[in-house]
Structure 1
Amino acid sequence: MTLHADYDPDNIFAKILRGEIPCIKVYEDDVALSFMDVFPQSEGHTLVIPKRANARNFLDMPGNELGSYMQRVQKIARAVEAGLQPDGLVVTQFNGAPAGQTVFHLHFHIIPRWEGEALGRHAGGGMASAETLEPVAARIRAKL
């Protein structure tokens, strides 16, 4: 999909925001929703999406919404680090299909990394169960 196009209100993250599709929530306020990635690249792979802006990617995000949203991204990254104690964190975001974006609603990935453990492929592994994701989400939520 092209880098610039109209926002699709039926994308999966918009449906999650409307409560039409369940997710394993980590954090929610009026600015952002954070939840576990169901196709995790590592244990604790967490997503953070904006709630107030229909932004397909980072370039579409209104500047007046960006600061508060990025504060939430940082807040969740800190909780992931405190709750899971990885050796490192990847905080990343993709813009357009050629860059790797698969869901066209702005989102940041927070991916814990441990020395010697391989990183799974983006959107390419098996789907994790709620039973697997919930205890990890609880460890992250406990640090918020």
Structure 2
Amino acid sequence: MTEATYDTDNIFAKILRGEIPSHRVYEDEAIVAFMDVMPQGPGHTLVVPKAPSRNLLDADPATFGPLFTVVQKVARAVKQGFGADGVTVMQFNEPASGQTVYHLHVHVIPRFDGIPLKPHAGGMEKPEVLAESADKIRAALRS
């Protein structure tokens, strides 16, 4: 099996370069967090390092400290902002795991007792809903 390489034209790389709009909730020198346009639940947020890597398997280990520091911040904010009962954090590596965008990213999804996640390919969310969700998360990050 040949090792796959990083594609600089993947959708997250384009979002990071500002070529595709996104509803950003957090950004620092190393990490960006934005709303997933095909959310599995209200508040589904993606946390993405700016450094290029296909996934966890080829990432520079120095990426993980800043990445997971922000994952924790965002997880706390989505739980607070949505009044969630819990938070699911997921990260996929290669097609067999379910990875569909080949730039390292972590899914952060507020969870509610008794409410299952929607399929990820469930369709695009309305921009106004994403904007409202982003506002809730940004407000929680400020508090």
* Counterpart residue number, 2:80: 82
Aligned residues: 141
Instruction: Name the residue aligned to 2:10.
Output: 11
Q: Provide the residue aligned with 1:101 in structure 2.
A: 99
SS of 2:79's partner is helix
| TM-score, L = length of structure 2 | 0.94
Q: Relative to 1, partners in 2 of residues 1:11 and 1:136: Cα closer, same or farther, differing over 3 Å? A: same
Whole-angstrom CA distance in 2 between matches of 1:65 and 1:84: 28
1:29-75: CA deviation from partner (whole Å, max 9, x where unpaired): 11110000000000000000001x21111111111221112101111
Q: Does 1:138 align with 2:135?
A: yes
Runs of 4+ in 1 over 6 A off after TM superposition: none
The TM-score, its normalising length taken from structure 1, stands at: 0.93
Q: Map 1:1-144; keep pairs closer than 5 Å.
A: 4-51=3-50, 53-122=51-120, 124-144=121-141
| Structure 2 unaligned residues grouped into runs of 5+ | none
* Residues 4, 111 of structure 1: alpha-carbon distance in 2 compared, 3 angstrom cutoff: farther
SS of alignment partner, residue 119 of structure 1: coil
CA RMSD in angstroms, aligned pairs only:
1.3
**Where in structure 1 are there 5+ consecutive unaligned residues?**
none
Secondary structure, aligned partner of 1:20: coil
